[in-house]
Structure 1
Amino acid sequence: MQCGRNSNSLIVTGHSLGGSVASLFTLWLLESLDISLAKRPLCLTFGSPLVGDKGFQQAISQHPPWNSCFLHVAATSKDSIPRLFIAPHDLNSMDLDSKSDDYKPFGTFLLCCEDGCTWSDNPEAVSELLMAVETEDTGNEEWTINVYSRIIEQLESMIVRKGISQVNEPILNSLRAGTTLQIEAIRIRNEQLLIKKLEELEEICMFNKGKAFDPAKKLNVIKIKMAELEWYKKVAKANETGYYDCYKKQLSRRDRDIIKHKKFLTKYWKEVVAQNERKPQKQLVYLRSRWLYAGTTYRRMVEPLDIADYYRDGGSNYVTNGRSHHYIKLEQWLEADEKQSRFRIDTKKQNVDVILTDDSCFWANVEEARQWCKTLKTADVGMISERLCLRQKLMEFEVYVMEQIKKYAVSSEIFLKGSSFMQWWKEYEMLIEPFHNSPLTDFIRNCKFQQYASGCLALS
């Protein structure tokens, strides 16, 4: 490891096994330290064996800022170590499906011989090129170090192949030309099978890059879809129903149109979460604040609609049996970020009339409480233990709701006369004893919720 002329430049380097150690150390640096783009280290290896399988390679390659930190130099005709862990295969089979347990390259490879050098960041193509060259390896480590020393000395005068092919046949397209020059640069002449396979691998690579999910590309569309939901929410509130119950009832075409927006947003955020989970990261690495804020707003706006679908279809116990993985991860990342005080969404606003309910599973808890009321109402009088259990759950729900109110963490929409929450209250009030008193019963019976929306109600 060394620093360049600029004290901010960090180069981690190693030869042979030391190169593998350098790669792993660089990954540790990237994962453990909060490194800006300008200070990101460069890992430069010489004759290093590969260090991970396909899953390991994909995790790095799908995170371009990390993948760009690695440059691996391999003397293709003099050193067999770079190809040490690549499984032999039959080139004639043209099988493009790589085994997942093979070791795979990541980063950029500079493949050199006496005649020239070529580079590639296509992992499958690098594997093919490494396997295609016949190596004159002496097994002498000092000798291979000298080979790399000469490569470094000559690198400035060497040409990375972009020239004219010496093959005496017409080259009909730029992909064929580039592939042919790659092979010529490392002294493989006129290997038609290899040229064809490299072409196919490069086409696959370009296709995958083209369809790669980029959250930033759809951000403006996402904002438009979220704006549509915001407008829907305002219209539903004007109808004294609330957007949760308005969507759940599905009475108008507008309600059904929201389904399309919900599906689009959910697909997008599932991909964002999946992409973030694939990144090499320590346990508590999560989305950057910009995306975490947007993801939290999405979760609080859209998960209630999923809950409405779930209970409309007769579901129960949504949190355990029906909740999507991507909601769980978005919530966990927010909690972790708040614990480290890096990012906090302030929900206690003077006007809670416009906020989204913090707990995106609030309506699932309301639906469960309504089911408990229904069961308690129809339960046999002799089933004392079951009735006591249900009453205990309902009192715990009371406490939960009041805690949310005290934190100004629920939208005033829950108190609209057409909301499922107010329906629960009517059902619950019929079941409790006349003398039953609690902070929530006091809050609702004395209509304190009417002052709640303005944020001026004193709560302790």
Structure 2
Amino acid sequence: METATQTFTAGEEIATFLVSYRFLLHKAWEESLRANSSKSFTLNEHEDVVYVAFPSFHGIEDFMVIESEYGEGNIQTGNEVFSGCLKGNDDQLALVHQGALKIFLHIMENTDFKKKLQIYINSKQKKPKSIIFVGHSLGGAVATLVTLWVLEKRLKQSSPFCITLKDVNPFCITFGCPLVGDERLVEAVGREHWGGNFCHVVSKHDIVPRMLLAPLESIAQPLIAIFPYWQGIDAPDAFIQDACRTLLNNVFDSLRESNGVVKKSPYRPFGTYMFCSSNGAACIENSETVLKMLHWTIQSQETSLDEIVQDCLLEHIRYGSVLKIVMQNSIRGRKLVNFNSESSYEMRISLQLEAVGVQDDHVKLDLLNLGRTENKHSADVSNLAIKLSKKNCTRVELEWYKECCEKDDIGGYYDSFKNQNDKRDIDANGRRLKLGEFWDELIEMWESHALPSDFRTQNKWVNAGMTYRELVEPLDIAYYYRKSEGKGNYLSDGRPHRHKVLQKWMEDKDKTREAEGRVARTKLPFLIPDSCFWAHVEEALKDLKQGLHQRKESLQKFEDYVTKLIDDRNISSYVFLERSSFMRWWQEYKQVQFPEWKLTSPLYKIMETASWKG
């Protein structure tokens, strides 16, 4: 059976967008070429779209920064342009190519780029202009970093030059762009859902998008020899062809050493990659799949090395012709013949490979395995969601337990659980353990990469983790101090790993929420946002036993801490029940204070007037 379809077979949303508005790609390419007459950037407006383009080949010497094997370095090296948002899941800053970063920083710090961009972003029009950052070759790497910079500033809602960024959603289109950052940068982009802001157009035999998969030392000299030809200065003589052959062989050697997995190079792709050939194009979003496609498409079994050398030299500078062929095919549509599989996913894989001219069963099998891994991740998330819905019953039972303890005037659920004087306290412990097992399993799956990279930023899981932590961690604290008989410190010695991870997820998410603006509380919450509150109370009680004089500084810090919680309405009313551990601390604390303390202590005034009630 013959199946008619477009040659775009993955990354459907962006593919449809690019086909529907294909003039954007052509215009982006035109602006990329126009930027070559500039030493830094060009900025032009066309039909309410602002195109900011960066030159292709200026700064090749700057790009070849051989300070590490692959030219990689910390994204904040020698600059404060980027803040701390671009981190991996391990909380370490992303690595980027230092040569690309150097060119980017030069433009940011030594040109009027910010000033000109401000004019367009601060436009008084009701509908802000669309901004597309474009670049070919090295200019694409700069365009990528600039787009990341705007996205990060928008996230933080801060800017060194008073730009309002909340309505700015930049788009980046690159042509033949080298890889820019490492796995941590991929994780940061995925976490903030920025992948859809990038489209990287890659021709089948263009070496530049693959070149940083090889050590910089092995590609520097060949590239310096080839660049004059790409700039239109030299003709493609035997010397340049030999340099291109050397460059290709060095990249191929790096790929072969790693069995196509490219484990050695730190660089990883992000965004949507539009792979182009004379057959059409395929848009792919998954980073690992893109990495494999960068390998497979250039090492075609049907093409000799001499032919690839010729294509390598030409394709890097002829994206205009490449786009023309791709768009003609996408409008005309294509047919797939001799297709026997009933799997729609296999159909899409076959179409992808056909579109980029790859006919290799091993490649198809690898892509299918990657797809199965993604499907397993999705299935695991679905199973966790089902488990979470079942655990919600346990959570509700603990909330009911909390309310019952408050009604019975026994000091609240923290003290009731710590004392374990009732059957319901024992039942609550069983529920505590069940919920802990669920979240331990989830954290273990996350840390073993069995869940999608953006899992930790999904509101469903961030909010569920926050609610669990605020409700159950007080019980974990009570259990710890009951068992340790006051000898240990929960904060430094006893806090479970799951609570630390869930708190980190929430804090990272709060960076975005703060940028969007948060409304101050007017009422006391049901649960205390600082889930470690009762651990601070326990340590303050121990400090009192040692004496006010010996522990004056730490006791003052605790007093200030509680005062701020009350002022910010970040404390729950059950804390002030007469028989709670906190009230026991308060009664003892004020008795050992000097008389003049009452005149200056904000907390004393709050407690004596009961103004904490609001």
Decide: shared fold, TM above 0.5.
yes
1:5 counterpart = 2:47: yes
Distance in structure 1 (CA, Å) of the matches to 2:529 and 2:596: 26
The correspondence for 1:114, drawn from 278, 282, 285, is 278
1:255 counterpart = 2:431: no
1:238 counterpart = 2:425: no
Residues 55-94 of structure 1 mapped to structure 2, 5 A cutoff: 55-63=184-192, 65-77=193-205, 79-86=206-213, 88=252
The correspondence for 1:188, drawn from 358, 375, 398, is 358
| Aligned residue number for residue 76 of structure 2 | none
| Aligned residue number for residue 217 of structure 2 | none
Q: Which sections of structure 2, spanning at least 5 residues, go unmatched? A: 1-42, 50-128, 156-163, 215-251, 300-306
Q: What one-letter code is carried by the residue in structure 2 that aligns with 1:313?
A: K
The correspondence for 2:535, drawn from 329, 354, 364, is 364
| Aligned residue number for residue 15 of structure 1 | 136
User: How far does residue 363 in structure 1 lie from its aligned partner after superposition?
Assistant: 1.8
Q: In structure 2, do the counterparts of structure 1 residues 177 and 335 end up closer, same or farther at CA, with 3 Å as the change threshold?
A: closer
User: How far does residue 229 in structure 1 lie from its aligned partner after superposition?
Assistant: 4.2
Q: What one-letter code is carried by the residue in structure 2 that aligns with 1:43?
A: C
1:416 counterpart = 2:543: no
Deviations 1:211-257 (A, max 9, x none): 45999999988987765444322111012120111232344344225
User: How far does residue 17 in structure 1 lie from its aligned partner after superposition?
Assistant: 1.4
Q: What one-letter code is carried by the residue in structure 2 that aligns with 1:372?
A: D
Q: Is the 8 A contact 1:48 1:82 kept in 2?
A: yes
Q: SS of the counterpart of 1:12?
A: strand
User: How far does residue 14 in structure 1 lie from its aligned partner after superposition?
Assistant: 1.3
1:42 counterpart = 2:171: yes
Q: In structure 2, do the counterparts of structure 1 residues 305 and 113 end up closer, same or farther at CA, with 3 Å as the change threshold?
A: same
Q: Is the 8 A contact 1:11 1:41 kept in 2?
A: yes
Deviations 1:360-411 (A, max 9, x none): 43322221132234455xxxxxxxxxx8314665566556556666776544
Distance in structure 1 (CA, Å) of the matches to 2:294 and 2:388: 40
1:27 counterpart = 2:148: yes
Distance in structure 2 (CA, Å) of the matches to 1:173 and 1:321: 53
Q: SS of the counterpart of 1:182?
A: helix
User: How far does residue 29 in structure 1 lie from its aligned partner after superposition?
Assistant: 1.6
Distance in structure 1 (CA, Å) of the matches to 2:255 and 2:459: 47
User: How far does residue 261 in structure 1 lie from its aligned partner after superposition?
Assistant: 7.0
Distance in structure 2 (CA, Å) of the matches to 1:180 and 1:334: 39
Distance in structure 2 (CA, Å) of the matches to 1:436 and 1:422: 20
1:148 counterpart = 2:319: yes
Q: SS of the counterpart of 1:187?
A: coil
Residues 14-413 of structure 1 mapped to structure 2, 5 A cutoff: 14-33=135-154, 40-63=169-192, 65-77=193-205, 79-86=206-213, 88=252, 99=263, 101-132=265-296, 133-134=298-299, 136-138=308-310, 143-144=314-315, 147-159=318-330, 164-165=335-336, 170-171=340-341, 173-189=343-359, 191-211=360-380, 227-241=396-410, 242-250=412-420, 251-253=422-424, 254-259=427-432, 262-263=435-436, 300-314=470-484, 316-323=488-495, 324-326=499-501, 329=504, 342-347=517-522, 349=523, 356-357=527-528, 359-375=530-546, 388-390=549-551, 393-394=554-555, 397=558, 401=562, 410-413=571-574
Deviations 1:47-88 (A, max 9, x none): 11222223322332454x4111222222203x2222222354
Q: Which sections of structure 1, spanning at least 5 residues, go unmatched? A: 280-285, 377-386
Deviations 1:99-149 (A, max 9, x none): 2644222222222222322232233333333323346244887x4465211
Distance in structure 2 (CA, Å) of the matches to 1:400 and 1:33: 32
The worse-fitting range, judged by mean Cα deviation, of 22-31 and 329-338 is: 329-338
| Aligned residue number for residue 383 of structure 1 | none
Q: What one-letter code is carried by the residue in structure 2 that aligns with 1:128?
A: K
User: How far does residue 40 in structure 1 lie from its aligned partner after superposition?
Assistant: 2.3
Q: Is the 8 A contact 2:566 2:612 kept in 1?
A: no
User: How far does residue 203 in structure 1 lie from its aligned partner after superposition?
Assistant: 2.1
User: How far does residue 209 in structure 1 lie from its aligned partner after superposition?
Assistant: 4.5
Q: Is the 8 A contact 2:282 2:355 kept in 1?
A: yes
Q: In structure 2, do the counterparts of structure 1 residues 187 and 344 end up closer, same or farther at CA, with 3 Å as the change threshold?
A: closer
Distance in structure 2 (CA, Å) of the matches to 1:37 and 1:408: 28
Distance in structure 2 (CA, Å) of the matches to 1:357 and 1:149: 59
Distance in structure 1 (CA, Å) of the matches to 2:459 and 2:347: 45
Q: Is the 8 A contact 1:60 1:106 kept in 2?
A: yes
Q: Is the 8 A contact 1:366 1:424 kept in 2?
A: yes
Q: What one-letter code is carried by the residue in structure 2 that aligns with 1:194?
A: V
Distance in structure 2 (CA, Å) of the matches to 1:208 and 1:92: 29
Distance in structure 1 (CA, Å) of the matches to 2:178 and 2:353: 21
Q: In structure 2, do the counterparts of structure 1 residues 401 and 52 end up closer, same or farther at CA, with 3 Å as the change threshold?
A: closer
Distance in structure 2 (CA, Å) of the matches to 1:181 and 1:269: 36
Distance in structure 2 (CA, Å) of the matches to 1:208 and 1:455: 47
Aligned residues: 425
Distance in structure 2 (CA, Å) of the matches to 1:338 and 1:171: 46
The worse-fitting range, judged by mean Cα deviation, of 295-304 and 209-218 is: 209-218
Q: What one-letter code is carried by the residue in structure 2 that aligns with 1:318?
A: Y
Distance in structure 1 (CA, Å) of the matches to 2:483 and 2:566: 29
TM-score w.r.t. structure 1 length? 0.70
Q: In structure 2, do the counterparts of structure 1 residues 329 and 197 end up closer, same or farther at CA, with 3 Å as the change threshold?
A: closer
Q: In structure 2, do the counterparts of structure 1 residues 423 and 219 end up closer, same or farther at CA, with 3 Å as the change threshold?
A: same
Q: Is the 8 A contact 1:357 1:411 kept in 2?
A: yes
Q: What one-letter code is carried by the residue in structure 2 that aligns with 1:46?
A: F
Distance in structure 2 (CA, Å) of the matches to 1:96 and 1:136: 18
Q: In structure 2, do the counterparts of structure 1 residues 113 and 425 end up closer, same or farther at CA, with 3 Å as the change threshold?
A: closer
Distance in structure 2 (CA, Å) of the matches to 1:106 and 1:432: 61
